[in-house]
Amino acid sequence: MNIQLQRALDRFVGIPLCALFSLINYIRKSRKLVTSPQKILIILLSEMGSLVLAYPMFMSLKQKYPDASIYTLTFAKNKEMLSLLDIIPDKNLFTINDNSFIRFFLSSLNIIYKLRTIQLDVVIDCELFSRISSIFSFLSHAPLLVGFHRHTQEGLYRGSFINRTVLYNPYRHISQQFVTMVEAIESITTPIAKHVSSKTNLDQPPLLSFSEKILALTFTHLHTDFPEIANKRLILIHPSGGVLPIRAWPLENYCELTINFLKHNFAVGVIGLEIDKSLAETIVTHANNPFCINLAGYTKSLKHLLMLFHRASLLITNDGGPGQFAALTPIPTIVLFGPETPLLYQSLGMNIHSFYSPLPCSPCLTAYNHRTSPCDGDNQCLKQILPAQVLKKAREILAIPIINASIV
């Protein structure tokens, strides 16, 4: 389903259902809450990058409830990320197919049936005011539901059936807020968790290890397909904004950086999904250099992409999945923020460098507006990040002498 259809369904179907479930919750007899939960479901339907940011929450949950069985509900396209993180057993991972409305509806019915048969004790809904996730929470029949709630804020309506309501705090990193979800299970204050968190240091996502043999084979295939770059240091760029084009740094800026890197004897690979091939080809054509290659759609899996990161010396990307995935590998990464802020979504990796221009209108993609920006498309928050600034940081990372602050 495209994002517009998802938003429409969430609004026009989600609001009446949340109201109905709130009424049912009000008149029915409450189920007894379990003090030591043994079966806990985490709902995380959003982008794969959010799963990396949720890693500290999973670790906190395992530390607090070591004997509990942890389940996760996510979209089918996110399954590989959870498998790579090795957080929960594959048998405890439930997925929903969102390729079309019919597939989404049918797979949802199947999932609801499975969730009810498990007899869950707790559901943690990590979505930011998404109504579909709260509907899954209610229909799971778990006695304790943890989720973000608007309280007195002007957030989106999600009903009143969540009995562990976490105050969404736009001033705290989202990973810290996910950890608060775990603390909310046993908290009885209003708002939830009115104390300094006992978990002040967030767990770093693990660096995924691949055998030297597998990496060597991956690199051999890459050099067979693109022999020109075999003896070159490789820089990867990700110019696509994905489903939110407003997150994209101007394409001409990527073109300028590419030309500069090529002049310094680097190879440049433009990464992206299959649908990004034409966008990547624009940069390749502009460069007109055999050492600039189109890798959009080249990687066949997330694992393949992460192995490709091991071949590169630097990744430059818009805010989105690749910047979060990079935290699982040693690759130095520059992430360009604008419509969203690193204060909330900075990668937890140790080798990540973010650029952000805090304009009066930024961030404009928030939990309060279903990530629907009022921007007219002139994303000055990104346009005011100059290529010279990014180039300077890149040169520091790559140990290239800084001649001056301009593109040369």
Distance from C-alpha of 354 to C-alpha of 336, rounded to nearest angstrom: 6
Res. 363: pLDDT tops 80: yes
Looking at the chain, the whole-number percentage of residues with pLDDT higher than 90 is 75
Residue 342 preceded by cis peptide, ω within 30 = no
Using 50, 70 and 90 to split pLDDT, how confident is the model at 28?
Answer: confident
DSSP secondary structure letters along 263-301? HTT-EEEEEE-GGGHHHHHHHHHHHT-TTEEEEETT--S
Res. 253: pLDDT tops 50: yes
- Specify whether the backbone of 175 is left (phi greater than 0), alpha (psi in -120 to 50) or beta: alpha
User: Tokens 């229909």 correspond to what residue?
Assistant: 139
Strand partners, 124: 42, 146
Using 50, 70 and 90 to split pLDDT, how confident is the model at 401?
Answer: low
Section 23-36 average pLDDT:
81
Per-residue pLDDT of 290-329, as tens digits, reads 999 999 999 999 999 999 999 999 999 999 999 999 999 9
Res. 198: pLDDT tops 70: no
Alpha carbon distances (Å) from 379 to 250, 339, 383, 384: 9, 8, 6, 9
DSSP secondary structure letters along 116-134? HHHT-SEEEE-SSS-HHHH
- For the chain, the farthest-separated pair of C-alpha atoms sits apart, in whole angstroms, at 72
Residue 330 preceded by cis peptide, ω within 30 = no
> What is the residue-averaged pLDDT of the chain?
91
Q: Strand, helix or coil at 151?
A: coil
pLDDT at 390: 97
Section 77-91 average pLDDT:
92
User: Tokens 């300094």 correspond to what residue?
Assistant: 196
Res. 118: pLDDT tops 60: yes
List helix spans (H) across 154-229: 174-184, 212-225
Res. 408: pLDDT tops 50: no
Residues 6+ apart with CB under 8 A from 120: 39, 40, 41, 71, 140, 141, 142
Section 351-360 average pLDDT:
94
Looking at the chain, the whole-number percentage of residues with pLDDT higher than 70 is 97
Domains of the chain: 3-184 (3.40.50.2000), 212-398 (3.40.50.2000)
pLDDT at 190: 85
pLDDT at 400: 67
Apex 299 CA angle, 294 and 302, nearest 5: 135
Per-residue pLDDT of 229-245, as tens digits, reads 999 999 999 999 988 89
Res. 46: pLDDT tops 90: no
Section 109-130 average pLDDT:
94
Residue (of 58, 3, 63, 68) closest to 35 by Cα position: 68
- Specify whether the backbone of 67 is left (phi greater than 0), alpha (psi in -120 to 50) or beta: alpha
Using 50, 70 and 90 to split pLDDT, how confident is the model at 7?
Answer: confident
Res. 407: pLDDT tops 50: no
Res. 351: pLDDT tops 60: yes
Distance of CA 306 to the CA centre of its chain: 15
pLDDT at 402: 43
